[in-house]
Structure 1
Amino acid sequence: MTNTPITEMTTRAQDIFRVVVESYLDTGAPVGSRTISKAPGLELSPASIRNVMQDLEELGLLAAPHTSAGRVPTEIGLRLFVDGMMQAAVPTQEERDAIESQITERGPVEDALRATTSILSGLSSCAGLVLVPKREPLLKQFSFVKLSEGQGLAILVSQDGGVENRVLDLPPGVSESALVEAGNYLTARYGGKTLSQALATVDGEISAGELAIDKASEELVRAGMVTWSRDPSDRPVLIVRGQANLLQDNSALADLDRVRRLLDELEAKQEIARLLDNARDAEAAKIFIGAENKLFSLSGSSVIAAPYKDGDGQVVGVVGVIGPTRLNYARVVPMVDFTAQTLSRLLTK
């Protein structure tokens, strides 16, 4: 391993290292001295290039896979390149339009987040990730609808436009007026609160017999709140889309075990969520490369993630992508940054 900074490398070593990394990220294939010698501006013989590549290998920045005469960057080399040499590209107008078209004010925020993961996945050819805001939305309206004599639907609408429906068992003989009264009572009493706050308050009021409604409506409120009693912290906090893209990488078929391990890791959403949470304090996109994180030490994957904020400037979530370490970092990093900025603009309106 090495902590060699770019400034301590000779100009020749920097040029050769850059060509190796950029060629590898583009093709996924080991890069040989003959290929490097054809790069414009180098004007070095293959022998001279091989000597420099050997030096870079001894520094831990390059490696020779199997019996190949070419070299590929190590994860340490990729980190050095990303932090000190990479020239990030600006997202194209087409890419910006594609992202902004999915992040709109119409509909629940959750829909925009799901659309965000899908568009990021498609543009980056990786799997898209969005860590959903941990804070609970404020409630706006409750209502009950009878589906049959014994079953009904409890409908909860949040102030950000989100809607959740739960099927519940209705008390015997409950009337339509009781359905309306129970919904109106909950809306008037708990609108503007979070679900956790509403659950805690209504439970105490039911126990103390303090509900200012008739017995039939009280039973309906009790049944309705039971359907919402699952702890909100147990809800999925991570949206993942585009896992199939991970099988499209040129190296995927040659290393199916790696891809299989990565897909298994994506199933463990809580672990991925904890990793993304580490990017909450970043000013811009944060990059996790391979074994730098224990979660991906086996699958050899990279994560690019950036935080997004609400109208108060508070970080509420993280958006990003996950894929093989051979990513087009120069293109994907600013794309993730732009997506986070667009989500922040949505949440400030």
Structure 2
Amino acid sequence: MQLEPRAQTLLKALVERYIADGQPVGSRALSQISGLELSPATIRNIMADLEAMGFVSSPHTSAGRIPTPRGYRVFVDRLLTAKGIDESAVEARLQSRLPNAQPQKTIANAAKMLSSLSQFAGVVLSPRRESVFQQIDFLRLSEKRILLVIVAPGGDVQNRLLLTDVDYTPTQLIQAANYINQNYGGLSFDAVSIRLQGELRQLRDDMTRLMQVAVEAGSEAMSDSSDDVVIAGERNLLSVSDLASNMTSLRQLFDMFEQKTGLLQLLNVSSKASGVQIFIGGDSSLVPMDDMSVVTAPYAVDGRIVGTLGVIGPTRMAYERVIPIVDITAKLLSNALSHT
């Protein structure tokens, strides 16, 4: 919906003032901060029109108005002027945490940096693990209990406990691991599963079963997404009155952090877009709370987008400051991961 210039100016002034102090904004205050030479009656009429269009609302306890999710959406899409931040200072802080770090450590540090700079929660969707393995090993723990050790091409190590029907000897475990590594190392577990069906008939049935169980467990381990979302600074949100004043909403927020399913969906969606994306509660079905917003940006490794990062905070956040923080951190993380 197209807004005439005066309405845009007043809406921008109202949102900026409300973000700054959290109080409903009256017509008199708008006449002072908007820079428009309009009578109080004209301002009231324009605000009434904005309210009728769903961009602002009037709390029962005040004559002033506050922005609605729809009003915030217009503000961030059309009216916001992002403030520049000292990119070199941010880069120096981030790089000081990243030297020679493993990729997962680099990602965790990026989440901490987002939280530290924004004073909200930082979140990073890690690159999905490929199901390709370099080698596996079996370690006998006790009778019918085996530890499966999976080494990915990049050096990432995953462990899975196998409960078997047969008590395998250490020699049998070494033979099974050698067979898989020599014949299938460098393939995905899905590809190995298909090939195993036709290639293991010459082996004893119990050894075949061990390998099949190992491949199933390996595929599950490599595709496990429980560690894909890295979150830092959740406790910062306990100090945000807009979020912490409602225990039901706060519980909903921390349920989201714990279960991560909703976050995965939101971050996966944002990874398909270019540049910074802003998801506003009440405006986006991906955000479970009306008072919460998520600012995201994708990051890349060697030019290929592999994940998303962002800041989770209140709808009443200083978007002009958070947006460049997210944007710059995404660029720096891309650069750091591309050179590890």
Tell me which amino acid in the other structure corresponds to 1:89.
K
Matched, 1:274 2:265: yes
> Structure 2: any 5+ residue segments left out of the alignment?
none
Aligned to 2:24, the other structure's residue is in SS state: coil
Match of residue 252 from structure 2:
261
Q: Could you give the per-residue CA deviations for residues 258-305 of structure 1, whole angstroms, max 9, x where no partner exists? A: 333333344453333223222233220111212222243654422222
Match of residue 62 from structure 2:
68
Aligned to 2:124, the other structure's residue is in SS state: strand
TM-superposed CA distance for 1:174, in Å, is 1.5
The CA distance in 1 between the partners of 2:117 and 2:318, in whole Å, is 11
Question: Which of 319, 330, 336 pairs up with 1:329?
Answer: 319
Q: Could you give the per-residue CA deviations for residues 38-83 of structure 1, whole angstroms, max 9, x where no partner exists? A: 5495677766654544443344322222221222112122111111
TM-superposed CA distance for 1:327, in Å, is 1.7
TM-superposed CA distance for 1:179, in Å, is 4.5
The CA distance in 1 between the partners of 2:240 and 2:122, in whole Å, is 15
Cα distance change of structure 1 residues 298 and 102 upon mapping to structure 2, 3 Å threshold: same
1:108-257 paired onto structure 2 within 5 Å = 109-134=103-128, 136=130, 138-148=132-142, 151-169=145-163, 172=167, 174-175=169-170, 177-206=171-200, 208-209=201-202, 221=211, 224-230=214-220, 232-233=222-223, 235-236=225-226, 237-257=228-248
Indicate conservation of the 8 Å contact 1:261/1:299, yes or no.
no
Question: Which of 70, 95, 98 pairs up with 2:93?
Answer: 98
Indicate conservation of the 8 Å contact 1:196/1:231, yes or no.
no
Aligned to 2:295, the other structure's residue is in SS state: strand
The CA distance in 2 between the partners of 1:278 and 1:172, in whole Å, is 46
Q: Could you give the per-residue CA deviations for residues 131-156 of structure 1, whole angstroms, max 9, x where no partner exists? A: 33345153223223344566443221
Indicate conservation of the 8 Å contact 2:291/2:316, yes or no.
no
> Structure 1: any 5+ residue segments left out of the alignment?
none
TM-superposed CA distance for 1:119, in Å, is 2.9
Percent same amino acid among aligned pairs?
37
Q: Could you give the per-residue CA deviations for residues 7-31 of structure 1, whole angstroms, max 9, x where no partner exists? A: x222xx4443322211212222222
Cα distance change of structure 1 residues 101 and 195 upon mapping to structure 2, 3 Å threshold: farther
The CA distance in 2 between the partners of 1:319 and 1:304, in whole Å, is 8
CA RMSD of aligned residues (A): 3.4
The CA distance in 2 between the partners of 1:336 and 1:293, in whole Å, is 19
Aligned to 1:309, the other structure's residue is in SS state: strand
Identify the range of structure 1 (166-175 vs 65-74) with the bigger mean alpha-carbon deviation: 166-175
Identify the range of structure 1 (285-294 vs 270-279) with the bigger mean alpha-carbon deviation: 270-279
Indicate conservation of the 8 Å contact 1:60/1:76, yes or no.
yes
Tell me which amino acid in the other structure corresponds to 1:316.
V
The CA distance in 1 between the partners of 2:25 and 2:99, in whole Å, is 44
Cα distance change of structure 1 residues 203 and 126 upon mapping to structure 2, 3 Å threshold: farther
Tell me which amino acid in the other structure corresponds to 1:247.
L
1:273-312 paired onto structure 2 within 5 Å = 273-296=264-287, 298-311=289-302
Q: TM-score normalized by structure 2?
A: 0.81
Cα distance change of structure 1 residues 314 and 166 upon mapping to structure 2, 3 Å threshold: same
The CA distance in 1 between the partners of 2:250 and 2:209, in whole Å, is 52
User: Between Structure 1 and Structure 2, how many residues are aligned?
Assistant: 336
TM-superposed CA distance for 1:168, in Å, is 3.4
The CA distance in 1 between the partners of 2:148 and 2:264, in whole Å, is 30
